[in-house]
Every structure is written in C-alpha cells, then in structure tokens.
A and B are shown apart, each in its own frame.
Chain A
C-alpha cells in the first residue's frame, strides 16, 4: 500500500509532549511558529528570548538557540541580542502578565525604538503558571484568585488592549490581534506571525502579534467552553484586526 504523507511535525519542533494543560493553546501557537520558521528557513539563524510564565519552556519545544529573560524583560534582552548579532533572527514569546504588567516599560520602548525583531504575545487574560491570578488583561467581572469576586474596574482598573497601544508608537511596523479559537482564526494567526517575521527578515522593523488563547485550567472551564469564551467574551473586548502595518498604512 502506498503511503502519502499529508501532515507532519515541522522540522524545528521537538518531538516531545508539552507540559501544558489539556485545552491550552500554547501548543498551537508553538506549532504555528515552528511552521513559519521552517517555511521561511529561519530556524538555524533564530535566537528565541523566552519569558517568565507557562511559556518559559518554549525552548524545550523548538530546535533553536534560546536565552531565558527575567520576568517582563524579554524585549530588553532581545534588544541586546539583536544589537549584538544583527544578522540573526530574534523573537520573544511572552504572556500577558509578563508583557503587559511587569514588562510594560520594556515592550513600549522596544517598539518605540523600532527594534528590528518580533514579539509574539499570548493573551489568555490570566497569570497561568502561578495559579490564576488577575492579569492586566483580565476582563471586568472575571473571577481570578486575586479578584475572587470578579474584577472590579473601579478598584482594579480595566483590561489593557496591547495591540492598539503598540500600534500608536511611531517605531512599530506591524501590530495585530488574532485568536486561536477557530480554524479560520488559526490560519489568520499563522499569516500574522509570517508577516511579522517577514518584516524583520527584510529589516523593516518591529512586529507585534497578540494572540488570544485559552487557559481552561485557570478559567475553570472545559476545553470546549474555554474555546467558546474567546468568541463570546474576549473578542468583543479585544477586537481582532491589524492596527498598524507600515506596508498598508495605519488603520
């Protein structure tokens, strides 16, 4: 019988089960990055800057060089890597607690300097690794371990929309928000990653891809319900779309 290979693991993705919880979408995001790195033949010149949170272990799942940044500092570490080795391909992978809270200064100034690197920002509205505390992206009314009665915007402030903020900075070349809840959205996410990576590869500057993703464990939902929450609750507050693209003009 003749075998026809129709689907395979990207070459730069490690053959290893991830440590992620069932229904978590980090694995999907990782795979998309792996596919794009393979397709663009970037893996052997890539340097990943990993951040603090569940996704710190991305370096265990990709066959590429990596350095571990302190919490929130990945854009600064990536700046150092890129300035030291401008011919390498450099990207960060950060969660919402890491990027939009403790790392706000680093991401803003990295974008504003127009560093020629790419940032993959996974927003699941909660601190995952530490057990589900309120994040800067936690939605109004959302219950977490540090907002047990639901986020009270008068007391805690409101969720931060990063893709829009990053788009406002002159140094940004590309800022977009995508999601991983449907096949269509997953395809759009891959396209967005490819766009950001292509801009860097062509020395066209800073690319920012915000990806809405699930955290069923800390949302205390089934995988399916968590997936549905993206469309029902996240997308209405965090609208999908491209907020800046220097090749299209700002939106």
Chain B
C-alpha cells in the first residue's frame, strides 16, 4: 500500500506526507488555493484517531496549533497568503515559546486580496519570520508533488529537533497540479526531547511553563541569544539542488515551481549549446549561502528568477557579494509563467 504510486495534487501530497509523519491534529480555515488540505484532513485525520478542527478564523487555527504543539503533539495548519498574514501573531508566539509546529503556505498573488493564482510574493514574510520580534522560521520550498510529500515528513522532524515552527512554502501551481508520487512511511518518528518540556500534567514532576514573556533583567536577551544559536545551527540542514552548474557560465537561481519551469528552459537552451545551469534553494531559510558563494568564486554570473518583484534576489546578492552580483527577472504575481517566457531574459543575461 505504502509504495503504490498515487496520482494526486501537491496539496494532497502535503496532507499525506503529514499523516505519514504522524501528524495527529490539524487546524484549518477555508481559503483558496489550499482547501484540499483541510478537506483531506476533515476525513482522514479522524480515521487515524487524531483530531481536525475547522477554526473560526486563521488566527484561532494558528493558536490551536500553538496549544497542540505546547502539548508536544505533532500538529499542522495550512493556509494561503492573506490567511497566513493573520497567523503571524501565533507564529511569533510559537517561535518565542519554542513550540514545534508545521505550517503550510500555498502562496497566491498579493498584496491584499490579490488573486488566487500562483505567486512567490510571500518569500520575505516566510524567511524573515513574518510576525513581530527577532525570530526565523525553518522554511522548505518543494517544487514537485513528490518533494512536497518528502519535505512535509522532514518538516515535522525539524520542528521537534529544534523546537521551532517550520514553514512549507508552495504556491497555487504546486498545490493544484496533479502528478504521480510514491508515498513512503518513515521507519521511526523522532520527537527528540519532547518528554522533557511538553505539557501533559505534572503527575509527580515539577510544573512546566511554555511562554514567551520574559520580564526579568537579562531574561529576554538570553532567550533571543538561545533562539539565534538555534538558527545559526541550521546551516547544517541547508538543502539545495544544482542542475548543470559545473560548466555553466550563467547560474539561474530559482525556487519552487519557478525552478521547475526554469529547468525546462535550461534543458532547451543547453540543447542549443548555451552554458546555463540551475541553482535551486530547497531550504529558503537557512539559505544556501556557502554553495552559492562557491559558484560565485568560480567566476559564474547569476540571474535570479522569481514569481514576484524581487525578494530572494536580495539573499542571492548577499551570498555572492564578495565575488559577483545577480540580475533579476520577475514573473508578475497571478500570471502563469511558461518555460518559453524565461528564454529571453536568460539569453540577455548570458550576453551581458
């Protein structure tokens, strides 16, 4: 059963990945284009003995996630851009209180109500924390349904390993496109030191407190330093894909659906003899700075392509700044990009 191929949407791949990862609670709210996820869990989660709540708001859903995470249970919530804005309050509290949780943002066009088409306009929000205060999220950006399944399983592991909220950032393309995946079940699930901090009643031990308020002198500074030390340690978890980079003169840096579309363009251009490669960050935070800098040291040129007006390009420029710069090409939020659209900007950057 576990290894039977399935032909499913990215949204369902994420949902099934969460079940495979032992997710026991899901808290959701309707918003396009992520509705397949809460719809899936409303039936499937109950079959596993877990629980599903359709919350009264995105705010409440995120706070339910905070509660379940504080209780040490694997839990998830999903939304799309406008809804993710509403969740930021609880996400900041989860980061500040060191509560593990998995959040999914199937990004749509913005700002405001925007549209329901694909976009990567929430890159800043995801990678800079998103809510108030000094914190980061661990951000994973799948580009296929299979990877969405795999990275969702990873997301729960990371959340408990580092006691942090983890963000899976997809978009309307990933969420809505159907393709085959091969599901798998992890042999073991590790909740690390959950038994030393989670809330389940004292039962003879000392009481525990999950909180983000630190009023005594030096306490908050210590908490911030401890969080930062955790974020710094994530460099060991960096994930990226290099495609045809070895002899490339120009490196296209792109993530998620756009990386996949760009890959098709690169294949076409390679067939015509153009030396182009793709660098695809899979973890958007921690960002693969070192790998990009290594490419820059080799004298390569860079073109960042995103489905927004230029967000990740800031991080690319920071990564390569000692050796190179990066050009930028942006698809506009809500428009559906195609591999042909990438050819002209890539050829232009090659000639520059």
Contact = CB atoms under 8 A, between A and B. Distances in A.
Interface of A: 43-47, 49, 56, 59, 62-70, 73, 76-85, 88-89, 105-106, 108-109, 113
B213 to A, nearest CB: 6
Given A68-B97, A84-B24, A84-B25, A79 B67 contact: yes
B56 A81 contact: no
Contacts of B209: 59, 65-68
Interface in B307-327: none
Interface string B63-79: 11111111111010000
Query: What is the interface residue range for chain B against chain A?
Result: 35 or more
A56 B209 CA distance: 12
Interface string B208-233: 11111100000000000000000000
Contact of B63 (A84, A106, A108): A106
B60 A73 contact: yes
A47 B207 CA distance: 10
B63 A67 contact: no
Contacts of B64: 76-77, 79-80, 83
A105 B86 CA distance: 14
A67 B201 contact: no
A56 B213 contact: yes
Given A67-B70, A80-B68, A73 B201 contact: no
Interface string B171-207: 0000000000000000000000000000111111011
A210 B27 CA distance: 28
Contacts of B27: 80
21 contacts: A59-B211, A63-B206, A64-B201, A65-B199, A65-B202, A67-B67, A67-B70, A67-B209, A68-B93, A68-B213, A73-B89, A76-B64, A78-B67, A80-B68, A80-B71, A80-B75, A83-B53, A84-B25, A84-B73, A88-B199, A88-B200
A76 B67 contact: yes
B90 interface: yes
Interface string B9-24: 0000000000000001
Given A59-B207, A69-B67, A109-B60, 18 more contacts: A46-B202, A47-B199, A59-B211, A63-B207, A64-B202, A65-B207, A68-B97, A73-B63, A76-B63, A77-B63, A79-B53, A80-B69, A81-B68, A81-B70, A83-B64, A84-B67, A105-B59, A105-B60
Contact of B207 (A62, A78, A83): A62
A46 B59 contact: no
A31 B73 CA distance: 31
A92 to B, nearest CB: 10
Instruction: For the complex of A and B, list the 5 residue pairs with the smallest distance between their C-beta atoms, beginning with the closest.
Output: A80-B67, A80-B64, A76-B63, A109-B56, A84-B68
Contacts of A63: 202, 206-207
Nearest to B64: A80
Interface string B91-112: 0010001000000000000000
A85 B71 contact: yes
Contacts of A59: 207, 209, 211
Nearest to A85: B71
Which of B53, B55, B66 has the most A CB atoms < 10 Å from its CB? Answer: B66
Nearest to B92: A70
A80 B62 CA distance: 9
A65 B202 CA distance: 6
B207 A80 contact: no
A56 B202 CA distance: 20
Contacts of B73: 84-85
A73 B204 CA distance: 29
Given A76-B59, A76-B60, A45 B199 contact: no
Contacts of A105: 56-57, 59-60
Contacts of A106: 56, 59-60, 63
A59 B210 CA distance: 10
B51 interface: yes
Contacts of B202: 43-44, 46, 63-65
Nearest to A89: B201
Contact of A80 (B59, B66, B213): B66
Given A59-B209, A67-B211, A77 B66 contact: yes
B200 A65 contact: yes
Contact of A44 (B66, B68, B72, B201): B201
Nearest to A115: B53
A45 B207 CA distance: 11
A83 B199 contact: no
B262 to A, nearest CB: 39
Contacts of A82: 67
A43 B212 CA distance: 23
A106 B59 CA distance: 9
Contacts of B212: 68
Contact of A67 (B65, B66, B203): B66
Given A66-B209, A67-B210, A83-B53, A73 B203 contact: no
B59 A73 contact: yes
Contacts of B60: 73, 76, 79, 105-106, 109
A87 B212 CA distance: 26
A106 B57 CA distance: 9
Contacts of A109: 55-56, 60
B204 A44 contact: yes
Contacts of A65: 199-202, 207-209
Nearest to A109: B56
